[in-house]
Amino acid sequence: MNVLVCGAHGFIGSALCTWLERSGHRVVKGVRCAEKADDIAIDYTTDVDPEQWRARLKGIDAVVNAVGILVERGNQTFDAVHRRGPIALFEACSRVGVKRVIQISALGAQEGDTPYFTSKCAADAYLQTLPVSHHIVRPALVYGPRGASATFFRMLASVPVHFLPAGGHQLLRPIHIDDLAEVVVRLLDTAEADYQSIEVVGAEQVEYREMLAIYRKSLGLTSPLRVSIPAIAIDAGAALLNRVPGSMLNRDTWRMLKAGNTSDVAQTSAVLGRLPRGIQAFMRENAASLRREALEAWRPCMLRSALAVVWIGSAFVSAFFHPRSESLALLARVHLHGAAAIVALYLAATLDFAFGLATIFRPGRRLWIAQGLLITMYSTIVAIFIPEVISDPFGAILKNLPILAILLVLFSEEARP
């Protein structure tokens, strides 16, 4: 069959294209920017008239709608991407005689009350009113090496402390992307009208806390420390982050997590002819690379944050809190007196503050080199003119060694443009 996959460059859409081509179908890819011969340019934010789709559907036997967003950005709203665009597409499919439509919806859309769910449900309901053979596929949380949510949860799992919302007892049954893609291919190939609406889930039901623990173990990491965060604190955090672009935590995602994401595995097993894979098997093939990717997602940020605190804290302590007479006495040991010592004191504090801001807003290899050179210069001057500080029980100079190590790590891991 000639199959149009809308959202072909997305996480789910790209997997569907691979499986459909492997099964012998000719795939036409609906994408935002058409670059190849088998691409068709689509834009759900503007393609809201069924007549806009008529030419694109010429020669198409089946359509799979895999377009979806988790967070709204600009004109990419839930209403546009999940409701108005798909409804126009489905209506056009009915008018031109497309043989079958498969809508990738979401588990919980039929009962959910978030804008994400209600927009999905509206498109599902409209498709069900049309005289066209269709399947509405409602997958649970989808796992895949390149999936945004899976990447996010692997990153959380790799952190040695798991902060668990309301104890992390929310029930989930994640489905592997390959099992979801196989379900869609099998539905497309079947001549039966069964499973017009199917909930696609994985083999194992787990709590959110268990999912993170399994991911962490699969990555080859030791058991984490678990800290339960009260639901009221997550409510407050979700409210604060609700307007932050790209935030994975907002009111809608928190409400969806609280509601859980699970269903009976019987329908999925019936379509596949076997049990789908369980969460324990998700990372068997590429655990080492996924572990490295997960650690790299948060480690540089943590190291930069620690550096920024050191630089900015040093600046404020030097300029405002440490007795100026004691600072000037130390500067006198390196032959700086009077106005020159005062200028040196506040110039150093200003430089420390600037380095702290740059660490947050303009990190990069040149900055790490500059900071390393300044720390080395400070340490050398102190070692020569105030040698007793080296044996200070608080290790004021020795503590520069781990800071230099952090800078070396950041320098070596900095991605080139």
Mean pLDDT of all residues in 168-185: 96
pLDDT at 193: 60
Task: Identify whether 184 is part of a domain.
Answer: yes
pLDDT at res. 191: 63
- Place 258 in a pLDDT band, splitting at 50, 70 and 90: confident
What range defines the domain where residue 364 resides? 298-413
pLDDT of res. 195: 64
Residue 363 belongs to some domain of the structure: yes
We report the CATH number of the domain holding residue 190 as: 3.40.50.720
Kindly state whether residues 51 and 127 are assigned to the same domain: yes
Domain-located, residue 163: no
Q: CB atoms < 10 A from the CB of 234, how many?
A: 18
**Domain termination residue (choose one: 214, 249, 284):** 284
| Whether residue 133 sits in one domain with residue 32 | yes
* CA-based max dimension of the chain: 92
Phi and psi, residue 217, nearest 5°: -65, -40
Cα 401 to Cα 306: distance, rounded to the nearest angstrom: 14
Classify residue 73 by its DSSP letter: B
Q: Are residues 264 and 353 in the same domain?
A: no
Q: Nearest 5°: phi and psi at 3?
A: -115, 125
Do 268 and 302 share a domain, yes or no? no
What average pLDDT does this structure show over 354-370? 94
The confidence score (pLDDT) of residue 395 equals 65
What is the predicted pLDDT for the residue at 403? 92
57 and 193 co-located in one domain: yes
Structural domain total, the chain? 2
Same domain, 25 and 90: yes
Q: Please give the DSSP secondary-structure letter assigned to residue 250.
A: S
> Domain for residue 116, yes or no?
yes
Same domain, 67 and 193: yes
With respect to residue 158, please indicate whether it lies within any of the assigned structural domains: no
Note whether residue 351 is domain-resident.
Answer: yes
Q: Is residue 250 part of a domain?
A: no
**Using CA atoms, how far apart are residues 354 and 346, in angstroms rounded to an integer?**
12
Measured between its terminal Cα atoms, the distance across the chain in Å is 42
Q: Same domain for 270 and 362?
A: no
pLDDT over 90 at 70, yes or no: no
In a domain, 176, yes or no: yes
**Whether 402 and 374 share a structural domain:** yes
Is the pLDDT assigned to residue 209 strictly greater than 80?
Answer: yes
What number is the average pLDDT over the span 367-389? 90
Are 60 and 19 within one domain?
yes
Same domain for 315 and 184, yes or no, is: no
pLDDT digits (tens, 9 = 90+) for 293-352: 999 989 999 999 999 999 999 999 999 999 999 889 989 988 899 999 999 999 999 999
Higher pLDDT, 222 or 391: 222
Q: pLDDT tens across 83-131, in order? A: 999 999 999 999 999 999 999 999 988 887 888 999 999 999 999 999 9
Residue 249's pLDDT band (boundaries 50, 70, 90)?
Answer: confident
Query: If 0-12 CB within 10 Å is exposed, 13-18 middle and 19+ buried, where does residue 106 land?
Result: buried
Task: Identify whether residues 68 and 197 lie together within a single domain.
Answer: yes
Q: What is the band of 220 on the pLDDT scale with cuts at 50, 70, 90?
A: very high
